[in-house]
């Protein structure tokens, strides 16, 4: 019998701890998200606004798959990400809704966040999907850099999104060995 996917694990890395998003995390996470420059390439570029972020945050709580990223050295929340759209029959899950403080851009933190989430996901699924706004070239390049293969691009809610698929064999991040 297969284990059900654990959508809100606590994951420990060298630089980051990822743990389940709590209602009490709103203010600390919004302190990061209110930087408009984080969202410039994002399809929802106004997510820095308090009311827009509140809807995003509440959707994360309701998803029961959202995680906050905590900088272990500083002990501070520096971003979040989420698991969603688990398809047990297809052995597939999506990772997305990710953002980090600009102070944590540049590769090492994002790579560690993705590696931790991928290591966890690949215990349960064969494919991880990333849905990225077509104009978000920074995020598209990051997904391609870790081995994501473009599956399709299509309009959703009036915005063009591109879907990438990633398997353990294609992943360029150093994943934990399986069995």
Model confidence, pTM = 0.93
pLDDT tens digits in sequence order for the chain, 179 residues long: 466 899 999 999 999 999 999 999 999 999 999 999 999 988 889 999 999 999 999 999 999 999 999 999 999 999 999 999 999 999 999 999 999 999 998 779 989 999 999 999 999 999 999 999 999 998 899 899 999 999 999 998 888 999 999 999 999 998 886 54
Show the 3-state SS of 52-119.
HHHHHHHHHHHHCCEEEEEECCCCEEEEEEEEEEEECCCCEEEEEEEEECHHHCCCHHHHHHHHHHHH
Tokens of 90: 């297809």
d(CA 55, CA 51): 7
Q: Please give the pLDDT value at position 179.
A: 45
What domains are defined for the chain? Answer: 11-126 (3.40.630.30)
N- to C-terminal Cα separation, the chain: 17
H or E stretch at 160:
strand 159-166
């Amino acid at each position: 019998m297969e284990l059900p996917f654990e959508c809100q694990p606590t994951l420990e890395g060298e630089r980051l701890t990822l743990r389940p998003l709590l209602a009490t995390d709103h203010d600390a996470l919004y302190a990061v998200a209110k930087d408009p420059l984080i969202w410039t390439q994002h399809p929802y570029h106004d997510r820095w606004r308090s009311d827009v972020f509140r809807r995003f945050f509440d959707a994360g709580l309701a998803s029961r798959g959202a995680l906050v990223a905590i900088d272990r050295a500083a002990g501070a929340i520096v971003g979040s990400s989420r698991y969603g759209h688990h398809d047990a029959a297809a052995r597939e899950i999506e990772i997305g809704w990710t953002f980090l403080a600009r102070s944590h851009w540049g590769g090492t933190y994002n790579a560690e966040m993705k590696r931790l989430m991928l290591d966890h996901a690949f215990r349960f699924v064969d494919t991880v999907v990333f849905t990225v706004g077509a104009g978000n070239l920074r995020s598209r390049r990051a997904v391609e850099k870790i081995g994501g293969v473009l599956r399709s691009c299509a309009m959703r809610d009036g915005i063009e999104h591109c879907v990438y698929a990633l398997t353990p064999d294609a992943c360029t991040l150093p994943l934990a060995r399986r069995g």
